[in-house]
Amino acid sequence: MRYYRPATTAQAVAALASQPHTSRILVGGTDLLVAVRHRSAQPTLVVDIKGVRDLTAPISVDEQGITFGPTATMGDVIAHPTVREWFPALVEAAGLVGSVAIRNRASLIANSANGSPAADTSPPLVSFNASVTITSVSGERTSLLREFFLAPRRTLCEPGEMVTSLRVPRPSPGSSSAFERMTRRRGVDLATCSVGAVVDADGAMTVGLGALGPTTLLGGPVAPIDLTSQEQLERAVDALLAPATPIGDIRAGKAYRTAMARVLARRAVLRAAARRTDPDRLTGRSS
């Protein structure tokens, strides 16, 4: 295994293209180094992009939204005041990734780029209509994040390519969001199911669904309802969860996962709706 630390994006993608099927990118390393240790990944070339000078800045804010670069960590996301104001669900999801030490290393972009349907930050990002830019020796292309996922651990990012930015448009005035996740109490720190919900100023609802299908899924939008009506809320939850195709596995049976998805969707929607009138109400959620 060779280690290479490029100085530019062009050098990085050229190195990846030289060994497209056996090279891997190193940025946070929280997944890659574990995989190498357990021999589930055996790259012949590791391309460390932390020293690339022309990468997108970790977090860039403008009037239309926020752009995240590959070196933006979960800790950066949690601490940034504008991210906390505009995207509380993303802050909550980032706060559930591993330990403090892991959050200070783990890359936000890599969490989605790995293509895991149980990735914590992908559901809120999908609900926010995020997009990614993929770079190769041939140039750049952009895709909506929800279309970026193809299958478990498979994305539009082909061998020899890398995701160089993640763009999240500014939320509409008066909207808010929330994230809910369930894990096994004495098991791996991996979502059994998760929901990132956005409720707009007029009450329209959208959700991102994690570990409820082969990829992170988008549910909604669903038209505004009377949230004090249990009957209307349950119908809305039915519509939001319509894309879900839960399975039974070591983390939960199909029936249990299906039932808990409803609980999490209901909680996330109600908390997001409550935040519209109390924007400072950002509290972490534990699984």
DSSP 129-176: T-EEEEEETTEEEEEEHHHHEEETTEES--TT-EEEEEEEEPPPTT-E
Share the mean pLDDT of the chain.
94
Respond yes or no on whether the N-terminal peptide bond of residue 246 is cis (omega within 30° of 0): no
**Which of 55, 73, 99 lies at the terminal end of a domain, its last residue?**
55
Does residue 20 sit within a domain? yes
pLDDT value of position 286: 38
Does residue 148 sit within a domain? no
Token reading at 211? 């570990």
**Which of 29, 55, 81 lies at the terminal end of a domain, its last residue?**
55
Range of the domain at 34: 1-55
Does residue 223 sit within a domain? yes
Does residue 96 sit within a domain? no
pLDDT value of position 30: 87
Does residue 82 sit within a domain? no
Does residue 75 sit within a domain? no
Specify the number of domains making up the chain.
2
pLDDT tier, 38 (very low <50, low <70, confident <90, very high otherwise): confident
Does residue 72 sit within a domain? no
pLDDT value of position 280: 64
CATH of the domain at 17: 3.30.43.10
pLDDT digits (tens, 9 = 90+) for 8-36: 999 999 999 999 999 999 999 888 988 88
Token reading at 79? 């601490």
% of the chain exceeding 90 in pLDDT: 87
CATH of the domain at 236: 3.30.390.50
For 39: left if phi > 0, alpha if psi spans -120 to 50, otherwise beta; the answer is left
Q: What is this structure's pTM?
A: 0.94
DSSP 244-271: ------SS--HHHHHHHHHHHHHHHHHH
pLDDT tier, 287 (very low <50, low <70, confident <90, very high otherwise): very low
Does residue 269 sit within a domain? yes
